[in-house]
């Protein structure tokens, strides 16, 4: 039981770091292209942590409610982040999409 709590905590912490960075860069500052490039790596790491932890939660204990939509959203967020690497001119749009998807994931955690 303690292991499941730790995995859920790590998942939530990674989501909050990723979402906090997106909100900070998207709403509070006017980031340079260098800032965006550096933050992309944080997004990749946090996104991978969220995705992997959701999979681990599924196999370690009872899967969370709405497991497949959560994994789908985490995967979509990673794909959107990766697409902004390929098309840097769309990075602002990618940040907006990821912010919205991140708040949906955060909503599921707030409900639990």
Q: For residue 40, name the pLDDT band (cuts at 50, 70, 90).
A: confident
Token readout for 14 is 């990674």
Share of the chain above pLDDT 70, in %: 96
* Distance set, CA 99 to CA 1, 55, 58, 61, 63 (Å): 31, 22, 25, 28, 24
Q: Give all strands (DSSP E) within the chain, no chain letters.
A: none
Distances (CA, A) of 80 to 2, 24, 53, 86, 101: 33, 18, 19, 10, 10
Neighbours of 87 (CB within 10 A): 10
d(CA 104, CA 19): 11
Chain-centre distance for alpha carbon 91:
15
Q: What is the pLDDT of residues 64-101, one digit of tens each?
A: 778 899 999 999 999 988 887 777 666 778 888 888 99
């Amino acid at each position: 039981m303690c292991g499941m709590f730790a995995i859920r905590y790590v998942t939530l912490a990674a989501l909050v770091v990723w979402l906090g960075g997106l909100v900070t860069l998207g709403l509070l500052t006017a980031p340079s292209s260098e800032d965006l490039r550096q933050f992309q790596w944080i997004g990749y790491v946090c996104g991978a942590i969220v995705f992997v932890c959701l999979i681990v939660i599924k196999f370690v204990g009872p899967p969370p409610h709405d497991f497949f939509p959560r994994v789908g959203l985490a995967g979509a967020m990673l794909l959107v982040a990766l697409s902004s690497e390929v098309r840097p001119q769309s990075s602002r749009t990618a940040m907006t999409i990821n912010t919205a998807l991140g708040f949906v994931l955060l909503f599921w955690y707030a409900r639990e």
